[in-house]
Amino acid sequence: MLHFNLQEPVELVWFGEFISPERDWKHLTRQLYEYELMIVTEGTLCIADEHEEYEVRAGEYLIMSPTRFQHGTKVCRCRFYWLHFRCPALPASLSLPALGRYCDEGAVHALAARLFDAERIEHRGVRSRYLATALLLELYHAETAHAERAQNAQQALCAHIKSFVEWHRFSPVLVSDIARELGYHEKYLSAVFRTTEGITLKRYLIQERLKEAKRLLLDTNYTVAEVAYYLNFQSPHNFSRFFKQEAGCTPCEYRANPPRAEETEQAQ
């Protein structure tokens, strides 16, 4: 992640658009003295520094930090806007990944066209500097919107998981059951749930089953054996062992000494 202080506009060095020749073009090798932003609009740009290689496809951008060894990695065909700029790195008022995606191609082209016009009128002028800064801000807002959409999608997925668990609260639900029902890989489903909810999916399933067991013990007159039956345990013994392990007491002890309301709230 790269951090820039945009309390003032960036210092524009150079701006332009590059279209690779028909054949045998590879990015030149040079030392890069400032940041370079490359916004690829067609094809794939194959480029690297002394630390990492990148393949930047249409719809993606790359910001390279100053480096002693910027170079092309292989022959490629592409079209991209390039912007060389200087900007204080800290304190950060804007953060961007070195390699990211942009969503609004029209907005990028419009800003680039305005920046070309500003450069023709006054090279590296105030208007050019603010338009170059606006280009960075456009990429930042695209990244933010993408992250928000991803977060909303993950929250919606977790809501589906919880709904499935609720509807199957009397069954010994497994992560594999949920994954098969919702059409996701088990590891992906578990990772999303843990990131969003702060608890592993396996632990959530155990807690929900325990919560339902406690409800049946306190709100019904079912025997322990009947509660075990409703929750689809193999035997009352298995249910009692599960309950003791998770609640710290037997089902009978829990029913005889139910927790006070404030203790229940704290546990929830």
Domains in the chain, start-ordered, CATH in brackets? 2-146 (2.60.120.280), 151-202 (1.10.10), 209-267 (1.10.10.60)
Q: What is the mean pLDDT of the chain?
A: 89
**At 154, is the pLDDT very low, low, confident or very high (cuts 50, 70, 90)?**
confident
**Which of 161, 217, 224, 238 is CA-nearest to residue 192?**
161
The mean per-residue pLDDT over the stretch 97-122 comes to 92
- Predicted confidence (pLDDT) at residue 234 exceeds the cutoff of 50: yes
**Which of 70, 36, 78 is CA-nearest to residue 53?**
70
Q: Give 139: exposed, middle or buried? Use CB within 10 Å, 0-12, 13-18, 19+.
A: buried
pTM: 0.60
- Region label for 32, one of left (φ > 0), alpha (ψ between -120 and 50) or beta (otherwise): beta
CA distance 240 to 252: 9
**At 97, is the pLDDT very low, low, confident or very high (cuts 50, 70, 90)?**
confident
CB hemisphere CA count around 265 (13 angstroms): 3
Q: Give 47: exposed, middle or buried? Use CB within 10 Å, 0-12, 13-18, 19+.
A: buried
